[in-house]
Amino acid sequence: MPCRSGPATPELAVSLPRHSDPIAAIATAPGRGGVGIVRLSGRSLAPVIEALCGRSLRAREATYLAFRDQDGSAIDHGLAIHFPAPHSYTGEDVLELQAHGGPVVLQLLLARVLAAGAEPDPATGQPRLANLRVAQPGEFTERAFLNDRIDLAQAEAIADLIDASTAAAARSASRSLAGEFSSEIHALRDALIHLRMLVEATLDFPEEDIDFLRQADAHGQLAKLQQTLVRVMARTRQGALLREGIKVVIAGQPNAGKSSLLNALAGAELAIVTPVPGTTRDKVAQTIQIEGVPLHVIDTAGLRESADEVEKIGIARAWAEIEGADAVLFLHDLTRADATEYRAADAGIAGALATKLSKHIPVVEVWNKLDAVPANARDAAPRTGVRLSAKTGAGLDTLRRTLLDIAGWQSAPEGVYIARERHVQALRRVDEHLAQAAGHLASAAQALDLLAEELRLAQNALGEITGEFTSDDLLGVIFSQFCIGK
């Protein structure tokens, strides 16, 4: 696994609590399986290996043997692999015990590992592995980060690879884990450091006759840096979209076909569909994928005035979902499009959407039941938006393309890497600082100190992505979302 380039961050390791304790955990998912893994990480694991395996192990070589209980009996038979530091996942000594995947067996094995650590070593009389404890969520990966085996973006990519909901997201997370995203950030950082060096030299030696900045084409370097950043930001937004997706809410009057549309998009009968208005009383949600992009589609209760208390609650929840949407599909019924009462109700919903929604949230006009309209009448009254039939599927591809356009997806760009919203925000701050720097650079010597400060802030924002400048609080949030044992 590639190591993080750039300066190490020992201050992070010192400030995080109990980072030097040896840790152990079951590393496979809960439940029954053919194989289960118990993982141990720490310094000098030889005494515990001897207690568990009854022998020493050759480095990085799988050895079939009995996992021994305290009395010498076998808890199970399986494979033991010892990865000596620093060439291991965590950068510490790591022991992996691959046993049969029953939950009871794995719990017995984990309990034995913890007990072996507390037992006195016959040679020294001291505990074989003092302070051995169960790992916290994400603690193995946290140690890999703290020991410079991976950077923070790669650590997040591990969790994203595990959580990937689409094949495209999994492939992109694998690219980030391999260091493609980090390499682009490091290239930006290196160019930024070089530019900072020129500016700092000019500040330190103002009496020199040589105009360092003009001779080194600082304007050109900064412009090239900004152009590169634009490309990285575009790819990062695509990566964040692959990971996060967008929330799409289907809204409209009762019996417009909202539930049918959800079922058609999902390709499954998820929502109950009947001719009775008000059938949907609460939201029905489903995550679908279009070209690998996850879309979280929510069907809501029909919007209308109602005296039914249960339906009123459903309508209130519908509005709550609409207000939190990234995009709204305002569904209309083509068979009732010219009815005065229906048009008035639609106008009321449109007014409420305009009032409640931010202007940045797109509302797509969708006209359903195209199959129920006579062919000679379909174009009689042109309507803006997407025409479709949730029943036959006609027009669904147009709607899918529209949703991808709203999301900002660019036809599966080759080599896209997974990213997170925090990465997007960090790059936006870099962009802002570089724009400020460009303004100061245009002011020449009068603003060189401000130029230097903006470049420093831009580098710090880049460092947040890879973890070179990151608060302990952020690390705690990131790694607490991992599985125990990872």
Nearest to 57 by CA among 37, 88, 84, 24: 84
Tokens 């005065």 locate to: 340
Q: What's the CA gap between 165 and 288, in Å, rounded?
A: 9
Known binding-site residue numbers for (6S)-5-formyl-5,6,7,8-tetrahydrofolate: 39, 96, 149, 486
Q: What's the CA gap between 318 and 287, in Å, rounded?
A: 17
Known binding-site residue numbers: 39, 96, 149, 255-260, 274-280, 299-302, 486
Nearest to 141 by CA among 165, 157, 123: 157
Dihedral sign, Cα of residue 128, residue 130, residue 135, residue 140: negative
Which class for 367: exposed (0-12), middle (13-18), buried (19 or more C-beta within 10 A)?
buried
Nearest to 466 by CA among 172, 147, 189: 189
What DSSP string runs through 195-220? HHHHHHHHHH-TT-SS-HHHHTTHHH
User: Is the Cβ–Cβ distance between 43 and 94 less than 8 Å?
Assistant: no
Known binding-site residue numbers for GTP: 255-260, 274-280, 299-302
Which class for 124: exposed (0-12), middle (13-18), buried (19 or more C-beta within 10 A)?
exposed
Strand, helix or coil at 356? helix
Known binding-site residue numbers for Mg(2+): 259, 280
Rg (CA), the chain: 29
Known binding-site residue numbers for K(+): 255, 274, 276, 279
Q: Which two tokens stand for residue 400?
A: 């899918």
Nearest to 441 by CA among 249, 282, 217, 279: 217
